[in-house]
Amino acid sequence: KMLNWVCRWFRDSRAATAVEFALVAVPFTYLLIGIIEMSIMFAASANLAYATNEASRIIRTGQAQQAVGDPEDMFAARLCDGVKILLDCSRLQYEVIAMNDFSDFPTYTTQYDDEGNLVTQGFDPGGSSDVVLIRVGYRYPFMVPIIGNLLSDGHGMSRLLLSTVVMQNEPYDIMEEAGNI
């Protein structure tokens, strides 16, 4: 009798779908959450690049250098306006360095502290027609443990997103003189 019951139990397929779903549901849900987290990280990275380009525009055109207030505050405010939807402005790290020429770029390597954060080399927007390097970093925290362990850069469950712009400022002092004529 017991053997018959065991044989019937193995042949019974009424609950097979529920059992199969129970086996697949947890990994599927985790995979779905991981895809969402990675999508948010990539969107944050694209948002950081966009904000860096927008903030660099006020340096390129000379608006920051010729402003009445502090150029760094103006740059930081523009940068924050660009990222505040997805990122926390207080965690942004940036450096603005005036270089002699585009060929100087390799000499200004990115420097990191022990936690993997960007070490700033200061804020110098340069002058008219100067070549300027702008780097903006943001330590993106992961919420899903396995995704965080796989994609982190070795500093907790986070990854440093980095955006770099190298540009030449416009000759805004010449344009200003032409406007006064």
User: What is the SS3 assignment for 135?
Assistant: strand
What is the model's pLDDT at position 40? 93
Average pLDDT over the chain reads 87
103-131 residues labelled b (16+ CB within 10 A) or e (exposed): eeeeeeeeeeeeebbbeeeebbbbebebb
What is the model's pLDDT at position 153? 83
The string of pLDDT tens digits covering residues 57-91 is 999 999 998 888 899 999 999 999 999 889 999 99
Is a pLDDT exceeding 80 seen at residue 163? yes
Is a pLDDT exceeding 90 seen at residue 51? yes
What is the model's pLDDT at position 180? 56
List residues bridging with 140 in a β-sheet.
Answer: 159
Residue 153 and residue 159 in contact, taking contact as beta carbons nearer than 8 Å: yes
Is a pLDDT exceeding 60 seen at residue 176? no
Q: To which residue do tokens 């997805």 refer?
A: 86
More confident residue, 26 or 97: 97
pLDDT class for 4, splitting at 50, 70, 90? confident
User: What is the SS3 assignment for 106?
Assistant: helix
Element (H, E) at 95: strand 92-99
Does the pTM of the predicted model rise above 0.85? no
- What's the mean pLDDT in 1-10? 74
What is the model's pLDDT at position 3? 82
pLDDT class for 168, splitting at 50, 70, 90? very high
Is a pLDDT exceeding 90 seen at residue 147? no
What is the model's pLDDT at position 9? 65
More confident residue, 111 or 9: 111
At 142, list the tokens.
């992961």
